[in-house]
Every structure is written in structure tokens, then in C-alpha cells.
Structure 1
Amino acid sequence: MSVGADPRPGSDEITVIDSAGATSIAEGRAVLRRLVEIAADTGAGSTHRGAPGAARTWLVLGELADESEVDRRVIDHDLLGRAAVRLAVDKIVCIGDSRPVRAAHQGAVMEGSWGDEANLVGTAEELALRWRDPGEPAPSGGDVIALVGGWDRTAVLAVLAERDLVVRRI
């Protein structure tokens, strides 16, 4: 974000934290903290706090393929999903079919996010299709979205552009 910029997004603006370079669980946690900080600054993410229709926070998480053994990655992804719920992230979408990604989704569900709050999709293209469906929850103006892990963002960012939303990437 540029110095002096107003941190509150306009009604047609979405803030996207794109951490394509994040490869470790520690980096994933840092992005999650950044999401929560920006949401606090912008007023997003208050639907858990009783303000229906308010801007929401989204964590779109793919596998963080750090160097740890698979079992450790599974546990770490589970803990990341749980942390997102504890920090009141409104929507958690896990992308992929690996054990760690499924663990992140399961962690979010076990911590209390279920229904349309926590979703597991196979690919970013599947998420893009859901976001195009008018009956499915999708980002709207004022929302703050964190894109984390190793997955192709092209389809997801295209959906946001199709909705005539101004994407402010940080």
C-alpha cells in the first residue's frame, strides 16, 4: 500500500493480499495475521461480530509445500485452518486435494466453521465457477481476500475483474 493511501476500500474495491511467494507455514501464518490487521483497519470481517452485510474476510488457501515431512505439514495446515477460524476469518476456501489441504479444511470445520464458511474445492477453476454462480457466496466490494499457497490465481482474479471490482493488490 502506498504511503498516505486511505486504507478503507470503496464499495467497489476489494483488497487482495497475494502471497504467491509464500511457501512455508510460517509465511502462511504471517499472511493470515496481515489479513486480520487489514480487516481491522478497513472495517471488513465483522459479519462474525453481528453486522450482516458488512465487508468480509476471505482466506483462499492452497498447499504450503515447505520442506517438512508430510505428517508435519498435515498438522501445520490443520492448525492454520483452525487459526483462521479463531481469528474470525469469515470465509475459508481450501484449494486442492492433497492431505495438507484437506487437513486445513478439516481444521477449520473442527474449529467451528462449516456450511458456507469453510469450503474445499479441487481447483482454482472450480472456485471461479462457484464465484460466478449467483447462488454461491462470492467476494464483493469492501472485502479483504488473502491468497495463500501454490496455486494458479488466474481464474480467481478473472472473476473479480468480471464483477467490475477494483482489485487493490498488496
Structure 2
Amino acid sequence: MALMDAARSFLLIVDVQERLMPAVHGNEQVVANVARLLGVARELGVPVRASEQYPKGLGRLVAPLREHIPNEAISEKVHFSYAEAPACQAVLAQLEQPQVIIVGVEAHVCVLQSAIGLQQGGRDVFVVADAVGSRNPRDAQLALERLRAEGVSVVSLEMVVFEWLQQAGTAEFKRISRQYLR
């Protein structure tokens, strides 16, 4: 599998929702890391898409993320897999980027099923381990193990950022490292 490339990637934020996040183990760190990666994606022009699983019951995307994502980039779904949801399939058809960087919750349900479904659909899939979570940390750990076994790349936030940046010494690198890599 190739390195992550900002020009060939899109960021997918899965179900980081108001009523779900309080139950997620390490929720503050997950939201903070998703927000950091969202900021870097915006700085580098990486397209961002997000999903909301049954928002009537689980609420909307949390405010710190929602305020930086246009409404048209957020899809409602009831399928656990982003790849299976009809509204999301329409979004995917418009995105030419072959690489998808996935963050969100729950790691063992919607993240896992979305990653495997997107991989089966021909995308190169990278799941950001320090930007996903589940209510039970054991479920998140098992999800990451299974994703690796299925051939999905499990990466860290910094791996994504440094691969997207490709080199040090640029104004972009200095700005992003100062603002998002502390």
C-alpha cells in the first residue's frame, strides 16, 4: 500500500455525535484528535465528509467539529457502514480520491464496517487509531486488530499528518506543526 497523499485522500468522520460521545471511552481525546486532523485536512485542502448515525436518536455531529464542516458534507445514515448507506454512496460516487482516512466511533461497529466496506469497494483505507473509540476500550482494541487482519492500514494521527505534508521546512509544515502537532 502507498503512503497517504493529501492530493489522493479524503477524511471521513464517522458518527462523532452529541448523545453518543459521552459514553465513549476516552471521548475527549477522540474528539480532540478528530478536530486536529480536521484542521490539518482543511489547511491542506483535503476533502472532508462526515456521517451521522440516526441523528434523531443520537444527536448531531458534536459542535467542535460541526462548525467546521458544511452541511452538504454531512450524511445521515441508518446503515452501520458508510459504504452501504444510500446517501453516503452518492457522496462516494462524487469523490475521486482513492484513499480514505477514517476517524470516529464506534470503532467496532460503524468504523469497522465502513472501513471494510470501503476497502471492498476499491479504496485504500487507513483508520487512525488515536482518533477512534468505543464505549468499551476492549471493543476498540479488537476492532483495530481485526482491521489489520483484513488488510486495512491502522495508523496514527501524526503518521497521517507527516505523510500528507511529505517534507519539513515549508511554510505549510511550520504552520501545521505549530498549530496541530503539540
Q: TM-score normalised to the size of structure 1?
A: 0.44
Whose helix fraction is larger, Structure 1's or Structure 2's?
2
Q: TM-score normalised to the size of structure 2?
A: 0.42
Greater RCO (Cα-Cα under 8 Å, separation 6 or more): 1
